[in-house]
Each structure stands twice: as C-alpha cells, then as structure tokens.
Amino acid sequence: MAKQAPHAFVSLGAPKLRSTNIWGRVSVSVLPLETRHQRRFGAVRLRAALDLPMTLGQWVLQQERQHPETADLAPLITATATAGKQIASLVARAGVSNLTGLQGSVNVQGEEQKKLDVLTNEVLKNALRSTGKLGVLASEEENEPVSLMEEAYTGDFIAAFDPLDGSSNLDAAIATGTIFGVMRSGEHCLTGPEDADISQRQMQCLVQTLQPGANLVAAGYILYSSSVIFMLSIGHGVQGFSLDPAIGEFVLTHPDVRVPERGKIYSFNEANSDNWDPVLQEYIRSMKKKGYSSRYIGSLVGDVHRTLIYGGVFGYPGDKKNPNGKLRLLYECAPMAYLMEQAGGIATTGKQRILDIVPRDVHQREPFICGSPRDVEDLLKIYQGSMAMRG
Ligand code: FBP
C-alpha cells in the first residue's frame, strides 16, 4: 500500500476542507459549523502544531482578559514596541546612515548628546504621544517633564524614559537599550473639553511625575544587541519578547522570567573601587574569593539583562566622587528595580529599597544595586552589620 501522505488541517471557520496532501490531491468532507470556542481552540491547536510563539499583540490581548485592570495600558505597550522596532533599525543602520557621533548639543545634565539620543527621543515621544493616553512624559533628553494635556484624549498616564541608554557605547556597536516606566496620573492630568484653568492643572500634573517607583504600573526595556529583546512587566511577572526579523514582530521567547536565586557574576565598574565604601570593597573581595566572575558592559540595559537571565549582582554604587552614583532614579533605576522585583530579585541603594524613594527631581541620581536575592542579601547583611557596629 502507498506510503500515507502527510496531512495538514485548513480551518476556514466554516465547513472545513478536511485535508490536502503535498501531491495536491484534495479530499473534502463537510463537517458541522464549529463553535467560537472550537474555532479559537482550533487556532490555539494550530499555533501549537506549528509551534508558533505568541506575538506581543496576542499576549497583550490575553492579559486584557486575564487582568482587565491592565487593559488601558495596551496602547502604550504596543506604541513602545513600535518605537522599539524603529529605534532598533536606526541603531543597526547608524554606521551606514551617518547617525553615529555627536549632535553638537548638551542635555540638562551637561552630557553631550549623540545624534541618536536626540532622534530616538523624538521617535519614542511621538509614538507615546500618538496614543493620546499620556498627560506627561519625562525623558533623559528633556530638561523638564513635557505636558501633553492639550493634545491628549485622556491623559491617564505619565511615562518616564531613557530613549537610548548606553549611547556612549553606540559608535563601538556595543549593546544599548531603551528604558521606560509608566505610572497612573491623578485627576489633574485628565483632560476635559473646556479646560479653563489648564495651565494650573498642567503644573499639578507635571509635579505628578515625581512619584516613587512603587507606583509604577508598567516598566521595561528594549535591548538592542545580537538580538532585539523587549523585557516587560505590567505587574504580573516579567515576560521577554524577541524581535523576529522574519515577521517584524516581537514574539514571546522568555515567559515568566525569574532571576536565579544566586548567580556566579558580579558586575561593577571596578575602576571606581578605590572610591567605594569599605563595605562594598569587602563584598566584592568576598565574591572574588567565592570564585564569582566579573562582567561589565557599561550599558545598563545590557548589564541588567544579563543579570536577570544568568543571575548575580549588577551595581552602580555611590562613591567618594559621586555620592549618588551615576544612574537616574526616575527613568533608569526605578523601571529596572520594578522589573527585578517582579522577577524575584532585589533592587536597593544598599541602604534603601529603590522603589520606595520619592524623587525630588526628574534627573535625580541614586546608588543602584540589583540582582539575585541571595547575592544582594549578602551585601545588605554586611551593610546592616557595619551600621549596627557604628550604633
Ligand atoms: P546613558 O548613556 O543613558 O547616559 O547611561 C548611562 C550609562 O551609560 C549606563 O548605561 C551605564 O550603566 C553607565 O552609564 C556606565 O557608566 P561608566 O562608564 O561610568 O561605567
């Protein structure tokens, strides 16, 4: 008897064509109309049969069903993903499209802006603005928070972001990333048809940017490296989506990310170690004794991503020269701390939980240490010990 040709199901959601075989012979049998559930289950089964990972869009819809309170975040998540794809393409083509190098301007922190710092800031601003959901946005590249109340449909949210973190590494084609955090805004930001005293309310809305990380309702980063990865949390764990260049879609590749309890890597810029406090110096010595290896990219998104996946500790601590370290609380430390805690890790200044800090300024810097819970707890124990000794 001839070898059975492989079969594939073709579901048209109506009477089904039973099967076809690669040699083009078709046999048709009419089956009863499928229920909606059967059709959806059929689609799930087909996706499973074809081993198709879930796309970000499908995941957002699923979250809306499972966590209705996150539904109004969907436009912001998809807009950020779209901006991430645009930025990934700009970063990948920076060398061939004359987008490396400096813009010739300086941001409010006195840093020379890269051409792509400015361009990616516009890309993300426009993408988020187009959702009509934002009352205010704050960015590393904007001197002050920007009110969008006059053009927002609702203004339910406030976003803070670093459009291209680690841009000092860009010209050497080292990993960079976009970091973002989203908070709910108060009634001040909600726009209405006739806003008589909008300027007064704009001020109150701008002030709302200075919320502690504990108020975040979503946060994440997009890593531009050997692959483009969108790591995201909306308060129900951490999911990672890789950009599939074949379909131009983010697909779920890292479901329910949990940082390992302990790692084997410490990640600090040891060039600053002479200026560190003795507790941190002792801690790093103890890690070396325990055989931990050192890895440091000098790009926050790259270093935190590796820490989330492999475990260990990453830190940019304060030191004698920079008592508050280098990283900005609102759009670097807080979003990364939110992700790390959602993945079961710890994020601290060494003395305080990052998510509890109430910002005084949009560009405020804070010492930042995060990673595997057991590894970070070891450091906190030494700090507590030394504080107890000092009484
Ligand atoms: P920006 O590029 O967004 O200013 O980020 C600062 C940053 O590059 C971080 O990504 C990184 O963790 C840190 O600075 C590296 O600093 P240093 O070169 O002092 O180690």
Q: pLDDT 10s per residue in the chain (391 long)?
A: 444 444 444 444 444 444 444 444 444 555 555 566 566 556 656 655 666 789 999 999 999 999 999 999 999 999 999 999 999 999 999 999 999 999 888 887 888 999 999 999 999 999 998 998 888 899 999 988 888 766 666 678 999 999 999 999 999 999 999 999 999 987 666 555 555 556 777 777 778 899 999 999 999 999 999 999 999 999 999 999 999 999 999 999 999 999 999 999 999 999 999 999 999 999 999 999 999 999 999 999 999 999 999 999 999 999 999 999 999 999 999 999 999 999 999 999 999 999 999 999 999 999 999 999 999 999 999 998 887 776 6
Please report whether residue 209 resides in a domain. Answer: yes
Any atom of ligand 1 within 6 Å of the Cβ of 176: no
Any atom of ligand 1 within 6 Å of the Cβ of 165: yes
Task: Please tell me the distance between residue 323's alpha carbon and the centre of ligand 1 in angstroms.
Answer: 16
Which of 204, 239, 256 is at the close of a domain?
256
Are 238 and 322 part of one and the same domain? no
Are 126 and 231 part of one and the same domain? yes
Please report whether residue 8 resides in a domain. Answer: no
Are 233 and 113 part of one and the same domain? yes
Are 169 and 196 part of one and the same domain? yes
Are 133 and 193 part of one and the same domain? yes
Are 191 and 313 part of one and the same domain? no
Are 251 and 275 part of one and the same domain? no
Which protein residue's CA is at the shortest distance from atom 12 of ligand 1? 300
Strand 146-147 and strand 176-184: pairing?
unpaired
The closest-lying atom of ligand 1 relative to the alpha carbon of residue 177 is 10
The closest-lying atom of ligand 1 relative to the alpha carbon of residue 140 is 3
Which of 256, 277, 296 is at the close of a domain?
256
Please report whether residue 101 resides in a domain. Answer: yes
Any atom of ligand 1 within 6 Å of the Cβ of 166: yes
Are 250 and 283 part of one and the same domain? no
Which protein residue's CA is at the shortest distance from atom 18 of ligand 1? 298
Are 377 and 321 part of one and the same domain? yes
Domain span at residue 226 reads 56-256
Burial of 268 (0-12, 13-18, 19+ CB in 10 A): buried
CATH code (residue 368) = 3.40.190.80
Task: Give Rg (Cα) of the chain.
Answer: 24
The total number of structural domains that make up the chain: 2
Q: Which residues contact 146 (CB under 8 A, 6 or more apart)?
A: 125, 136, 137, 138, 139
Which of 207, 227, 256 is at the close of a domain?
256
Task: Please tell me the distance between residue 110's alpha carbon and the centre of ligand 1 in angstroms.
Answer: 14
